């Protein structure tokens, strides 16, 4: 008769074996246990890496224009998404509205978020044609879904005492939002907006893969033409712009954001 | 101090619990007269804050009723509250990112036109009144500063100015001097006494007996959600208060 401790140990061993078997089956299923394929992959990576260097800067003027378009897509998309997300986030704020309204708005935002940005780009390419307009609308919708959620969660975090104090003056819900919730969360709103813009610059750089404008169109083209040296130039340009925008965002944060718990001067 | 004993606030047989557990308030009644300071004393957890929230309409009693100048107070999570009843919470509830003047001006929101107010367009006389209140409270020079940059005593004054901006008939202040040093507390309560002298009924909660002894016209003591003392302040009251608090 097997003891309880031995049974547990046996079950653990069995569980471990099942996990390992599942992992092996998965790797086999996705083709990662095919030695010939793996060897070919390593060889191709070598060719790819050799092809990247030295980067060819000859198309930088063209890429610069495309990068500017990428930034424009991110900027306009973030702005449109924010303008749409702000009122929806307020509608999802339980301090201001009851469960039927807040739950409905949260559901809509969740639905918008479910769809990846690239899929929205395909939808808008179909709707408005190839080019940055489709990319901008895709980024706007994607931003709406995420900013909406992040904003209503920020509004939920407002100090209840501030809400009670301002409510007690006899104001309306709109006034409560205008004079308590929005100013109290101004730091958070600005931080979210900057984060979303930075994120969208990265996201917009692949919008061109589906013809929705920006530098992605060229990057995909260089991959298809096996011009990895041109691709590396494009990637380095993107990296430089992302670093620059990170730095600028940090500058804006330092300029506008106030300390959360500043020390009060002595009496 | 005025001798008008008209009850600005009448709360009768208030019962309230936040959950199915023991009620926070059990049958508490109180009246507060215009022109007087009523101090509600009690240790932490005795139900003082809940009592003030019921009087303001931020919470609704499970039993009992509250009337302000004869009008019933109707609670509701999203309904408009009576601007004639000012409420200063324990940590003041100031909007820290906003300026001092903006915080004071929120006190006028209950009576100004809504749409222009959303565009920050408030009547000129309200702006003048807000500035005058800040001058009166000794912080006229701080109008443009952000609240987070003020000292504790200055923030207290901003909260009082916001309350006065409402032109209140009743002022409810919850432990709002508990974090100040003795001298600043006295300054603030002297201001509050001046407000009462203008005919406003003032209800202040605190756990500091000395304040009741010095500033109260009426003292109420809560213990475990029940009122155990309610009497006019007299020289001998301090002993009774100590006994009532201790049980």
Q: What is the pLDDT of residues A167-213, one digit of tens each?
A: 999 999 999 999 999 999 998 999 999 999 999 998 898 898 898 88
The last residue of one of the domains, among B165, B186, B212, is B165
- The reply to whether B91 falls in a domain is no
CB contact under 8 Å between B146 and A184, yes or no, is: no
* Closest chain A C-alpha to B91 CA, distance in angstroms: 7
Q: Are residues B47 and B32 in the same domain?
A: yes
Number of domains present in the structure of chain B: 2
Which of the four pLDDT bands, split at 50, 70 and 90, describes residue B173? Answer: very high
- The reply to whether B92 falls in a domain is no
A contact residues 90-109, partner B, Cβ 8 Å cutoff: 96-98
Q: Are residues B78 and B194 in the same domain?
A: yes
Measured between alpha carbons, how far is B82 from B78 in angstroms, rounded to an integer? 13
Q: Are residues B78 and B173 in the same domain?
A: yes
Measured between alpha carbons, how far is A147 from B60 in angstroms, rounded to an integer? 35
Q: What is the pLDDT of residues A34-68, one digit of tens each?
A: 989 999 999 999 999 999 999 999 999 999 999 99
Q: Are residues B191 and B79 in the same domain?
A: yes
Q: Structural domain of residue B122, as residue ranges?
A: 97-165
Candidates 3.40.50.300, 3.30.300.30, 3.90.220.20, 1.10.3720.10; correct CATH number of A58-256? 1.10.3720.10
Measured between alpha carbons, how far is A167 from B53 in angstroms, rounded to an integer? 12
CB contact under 8 Å between A175 and B82, yes or no, is: no
CB contact under 8 Å between B80 and A172, yes or no, is: yes
Domain definitions of chain A by residue range? 58-256
Which of the four pLDDT bands, split at 50, 70 and 90, describes residue A255? Answer: confident
Q: Is the pLDDT of residue A1 over 90?
A: no
Residue B44 in tokens: 């932490």
**Cross-strand partners of B218:** B38, B232
* Closest chain A C-alpha to B235 CA, distance in angstroms: 32
Q: Which residues of chain B are within 8 Å of residue A182 when distances are taken between CB atoms?
A: none
Q: Is the pLDDT of residue A4 over 90?
A: no
Q: What is the pLDDT of residues A108-132, one digit of tens each?
A: 999 999 999 899 999 999 999 999 9
- The answer to whether A225 contacts chain B (CB < 8 Å) is no
Q: Are residues B150 and B176 in the same domain?
A: no
- The answer to whether A87 contacts chain B (CB < 8 Å) is no
pLDDT at residue A266 in the model? 36
The last residue of one of the domains, among B115, B148, B165, is B165
- The reply to whether B210 falls in a domain is yes
What CATH number is associated with residue B63? 3.40.50.300
For B75, nearest residue in chain A (alpha carbons): A168
Q: Are residues B67 and B140 in the same domain?
A: no
ipTM score of complex: 0.90
Q: What is the pLDDT of residues B50-99, one digit of tens each?
A: 999 999 999 999 999 999 988 999 988 778 999 999 999 999 999 998 99
Q: Are residues B135 and B234 in the same domain?
A: no
Nearest Cα to B230, choosing from B34, B30, B33?
Answer: B30
Mutation pick from A100, A171, A190 vs chain B, by most beta carbons of B within 10 Å, is A171
Pairing of strands B63-68, B7-16: antiparallel
Q: Are residues B8 and B69 in the same domain?
A: yes
pLDDT at residue B3 in the model? 46
- The reply to whether B212 falls in a domain is yes
Q: Which residues of chain B are within 8 Å of residue A167 when distances are taken between CB atoms?
A: 58, 81
Q: Is the pLDDT of residue B247 over 80?
A: no
Q: How far apart are the first and last CA of chain B?
A: 32
pLDDT at residue B236 in the model? 56
Nearest Cα to A26, choosing from A37, A18, A36?
Answer: A18
Q: Is the pLDDT of residue A260 over 60?
A: no
CB contact under 8 Å between A171 and B80, yes or no, is: yes
Q: What is the pLDDT of residues B95-151, one digit of tens each?
A: 998 999 999 999 999 999 999 999 989 999 999 999 999 999 999 999 999 998 999
Q: Are residues B176 and B149 in the same domain?
A: no
The last residue of one of the domains, among B165, B192, B211, is B165
Under 8 Å between Cβ of B67 and B8? no
The average pLDDT across B221-232 equals 92
> If you average pLDDT over every residue of chain B, what do you get?
90
Evaluate the omega torsion of the peptide bond into residue A5 and state whether it is cis, within 30 degrees of 0.
no
- The answer to whether A5 contacts chain B (CB < 8 Å) is no
Collapsed DSSP state (helix, strand, coil) of residue B202: strand
Residues 6+ apart with CB under 8 A from A33: A24, A27
Nearest Cα to A190, choosing from A148, A252, A261?
Answer: A252
Nearest Cα to A207, choosing from A2, A70, A29?
Answer: A70
Q: Are residues B53 and B117 in the same domain?
A: no
Measured between alpha carbons, how far is A250 from A245 in angstroms, rounded to an integer? 8
Q: Are residues B47 and B74 in the same domain?
A: yes
Q: Which residues of chain B are within 8 Å of residue A163 when distances are taken between CB atoms?
A: 93
CB contact under 8 Å between B146 and A183, yes or no, is: no
For A262, nearest residue in chain B (alpha carbons): B148
Considering only the beta carbons, identify the residue of B80, B106, B151 that sits closest to A265: B151
Longest dimension (CA), chain A: 79
Q: Which residues of chain A are within 8 Å of residue B74 when distances are taken between CB atoms?
A: none
Mutation pick from A90, A96, A165 vs chain B, by most beta carbons of B within 10 Å, is A165
Pairing of strands B71-72, B85-88: unpaired
Considering only the beta carbons, identify the residue of A159, A170, A262 that sits closest to B149: A262
Considering only the beta carbons, identify the residue of A166, A259, A265 that sits closest to B106: A166
């Amino acid at each position: 008769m097997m003891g309880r401790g031995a049974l547990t140990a046996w079950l653990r061993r069995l569980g471990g074996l099942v996990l390992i078997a599942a992992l092996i089956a998965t790797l086999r299923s996705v083709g990662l246990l095919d030695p010939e394929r793996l060897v070919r992959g390593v060889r191709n990576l070598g060719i790819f890496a050799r092809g990247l260097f030295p980067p060819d800067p000859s198309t930088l003027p063209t890429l610069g224009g495309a990068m500017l378009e990428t930034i424009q897509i991110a900027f306009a998309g973030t702005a449109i998404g924010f303008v749409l997300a702000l009122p929806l986030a307020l509608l999802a704020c339980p301090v201001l509205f009851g469960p039927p309204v807040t739950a409905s708005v949260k559901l809509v935002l969740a639905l918008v978020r479910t769809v990846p940005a690239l899929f929205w780009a395909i939808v808008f390419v179909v709707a408005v044609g190839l080019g940055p307009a489709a990319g901008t609308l895709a980024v706007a919708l994607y931003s709406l879904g995420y900013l909406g959620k992040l904003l209503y969660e920020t509004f939920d975090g407002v100090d209840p005492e501030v809400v009670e104090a301002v409510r007690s003056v006899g104001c309306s819900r709109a006034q409560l939002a205008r004079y308590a919730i929005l100013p109290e969360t101004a730091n958070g709103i600005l931080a979210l907006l900057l984060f979303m813009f930075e994120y969208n610059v990265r996201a917009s750089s692949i919008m061109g893969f589906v013809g929705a404008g920006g530098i992605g169109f060229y990057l995909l083209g260089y991959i298809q033409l096996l011009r990895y040296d041109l691709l590396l130039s494009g990637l380095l340009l993107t990296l430089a712009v992302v670093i620059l925008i990170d730095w600028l965002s940090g500058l804006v944060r330092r300029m506008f954001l106030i300390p959360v718990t500043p020390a009060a001067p002595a009496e | 101090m005025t001798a008008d004993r008209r009850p600005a606030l009448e709360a009768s047989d208030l019962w309230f619990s936040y959950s199915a557990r023991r009620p926070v308030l059990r049958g508490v009644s109180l009246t507060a007269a215009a022109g007087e300071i009523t101090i509600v004393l009690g240790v932490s957890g005795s139900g003082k804050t809940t009592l003030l929230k019921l009087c303001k309409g931020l919470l609704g009693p499970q039993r009992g009723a509250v009337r302000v100048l004869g009008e019933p107070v109707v609670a509701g999570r999203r309904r408009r509250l009576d601007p004639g009843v000012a409420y200063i919470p324990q940590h003041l509830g100031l909007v820290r990112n906003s300026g001092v003047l903006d915080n004071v001006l929120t006190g006028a929101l209950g009576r100004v036109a809504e749409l222009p107010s959303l565009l920050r367009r408030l009547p000129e006389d309200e702006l003048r009144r807000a500035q005058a209140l800040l001058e009166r409270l000794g912080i006229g020079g701080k109008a443009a500063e952000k609240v987070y940059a003020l000292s504790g005593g200055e923030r207290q004054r901003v909260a009082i100015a916001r309350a006065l901006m409402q032109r209140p008939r009743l002022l409810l202040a919850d432990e709002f001097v508990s974090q100040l040093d003795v001298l600043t507390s006295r300054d603030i309560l002297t201001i509050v006494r001046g407000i009462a002298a203008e005919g406003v009924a003032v209800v202040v909660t605190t756990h500091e007996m000395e304040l009741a002894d010095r500033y109260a016209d009426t003292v109420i003591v809560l213990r475990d959600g029940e009122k155990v003392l309610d009497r006019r302040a007299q020289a001998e009251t301090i002993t009774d208060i100590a006994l009532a608090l201790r049980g």
